Amino acid sequence: MGFIFSKSMNENMKNQQEFMVTHARLQLERQLTMQNEMRERQMAMQIAWSREFLKYFGTFFGIATISLAAGAIKQKKPAFLFPIVPLSFIFTYQYDLGYGTLLQRMKSEAEDILETEKTKLELPKGMITFESLEKARREQSKFFTDK
């Protein structure tokens, strides 16, 4: 009788463990999916912001370029054209970010850093551990209770 009871207990325990593993995996997959969705939305907002900024800055850049060129011709001073150079760099960067391949190049460079320059990504004092968090928590709770 005890053998039959322990056999069904072991089977129930095994089923429970399988369920827990399946549930943990499903929860992790949902978290990863949610984090990726949030990342994609943030990137979309960044690209949209860049495109919107480009509209306003492009208008400013166009008016400034025409005005400075007209001033340089009218005053016969080519020095009026110098501000166009830094403004054109800003304009080109924003265009590349909003409509060009800047994000793909950044992604490629980031992948290269992850593969070949891993040591530059290490945290000071190494990876955070449970023990280091507990130590900091205890020190902080002493700080608040000692006052």
In angstroms, how far apart are the furthest CA atoms of the chain? 108
Residues 6+ apart with CB under 8 A from 65: 84, 87
For residue 114, give both structure tokens. Answer: 């992850």
Query: What is the model's pLDDT at position 54?
Result: 96
| pLDDT (average), residues 22-35 | 94
**What is d(CA 147, CA 135) in angstroms, rounded to the nearest whole number?**
19
Q: pLDDT confidence of 77, banded at 50, 70, 90?
A: very high
Q: Write the DSSP symbol of residue 83.
A: T
By the 8 A CB rule, do 94 and 54 touch?
Answer: yes
* Number of Cβ atoms within 10 Å of the Cβ of 84: 16
pLDDT of 72 higher than 60: yes
Per DSSP, the three-state class of 2 is helix
Question: What is the pTM (predicted TM-score) of this model?
Answer: 0.68
Q: Which residue has the higher pLDDT, 141 or 146?
A: 141
**What is d(CA 95, CA 92) in angstroms, rounded to the nearest whole number?**
5
- Listed by start position, the domains of the chain span 1-99
Q: pLDDT confidence of 99, banded at 50, 70, 90?
A: very high
**What is d(CA 14, CA 10) in angstroms, rounded to the nearest whole number?**
6
pLDDT of 1 higher than 60: no
